[in-house]
Structure 1
Amino acid sequence: MPEPLAALCFAPLIRLVSEVDDHGPIRAGRLSATLPDLTTHQVRQATRRARALGLVTERPGDGLDLTEAGRDLADLYDHAARWARTAQRPSPNADFESRVQSALRRTLFAEATVRDGALARVSELADLWLAFWGAEADEPLSAA
């Protein structure tokens, strides 16, 4: 898997971006309580990676919020999970993060001729996000 896409497939990052997208800004002191299924180390990794990729910003009084790039990535995650749920990938009972990872990985390895319309859209969104926002990251995506 190309390194930029691998960076976006990091499960704690998917959780963080999706949580902020769904529920709004999270105060720094509330991150671990808001993401109780993640270890403190995973929360720090996700936050560090999100900052390095330009996905989040710290707003005084509000906490961690998504940037435009973060909102676009959250939309990509939603499209990917929707496709995976419909296609029952990686399994019918998979969680959101596994569905996103499965769809993003599949966009890389599926031949364009075998992709259905929804998967082609996920692939297109991933390509657009990487082309537009990947160059905006503070550090290389693979180092995040």
Structure 2
Amino acid sequence: MFSILTFPNPILFQKAIDVEHIYSVTPLLNEMKTFVENSPHVLGISLPQVGVSKRAFVARFTTGTEILINPNFYILDPTPNSLPSGEGCISLPGIIGIVPRYLIIRISYLSIFGERIFREMGGMDSIIFQHEFDHLEGILFTSKTLQAF
């Protein structure tokens, strides 16, 4: 079982490197996927949050829980907005904040099988993706928070 890093662990502030060999992180990513699927209040977790500074995360989208490796995204609607419910993070327990996020994005990533996936997403899925993507960039949501409570 993995441990979840919490603030102020320095790994959370490092820009992660690309995953070169998917098989090297497959067991851990599958374990993380099971964790997200069995944790009702967890919508995602990234490799940096479990101490591995590589570019992959697991996210629970409206279509199901997915593993995304070496993801990228492109902004389709340049107006940042946020959902009124705000954001929280398992690496920052007890903190919630309102964060501006792009609501419509186009994403690309590798699946666990090495297949390149392209798709558009919006709403809550877009927000979850951007939150987890920020972890790969070494950014915690508190650095983008408009209001914390």
Query: More helix by proportion, 1 or 2?
Result: 1
Which has the bigger relative contact order, CA under 8 A and spacing at least 6? 1
Q: TM-score, normalised by structure 2?
A: 0.26
Query: More strand by proportion, 1 or 2?
Result: 2
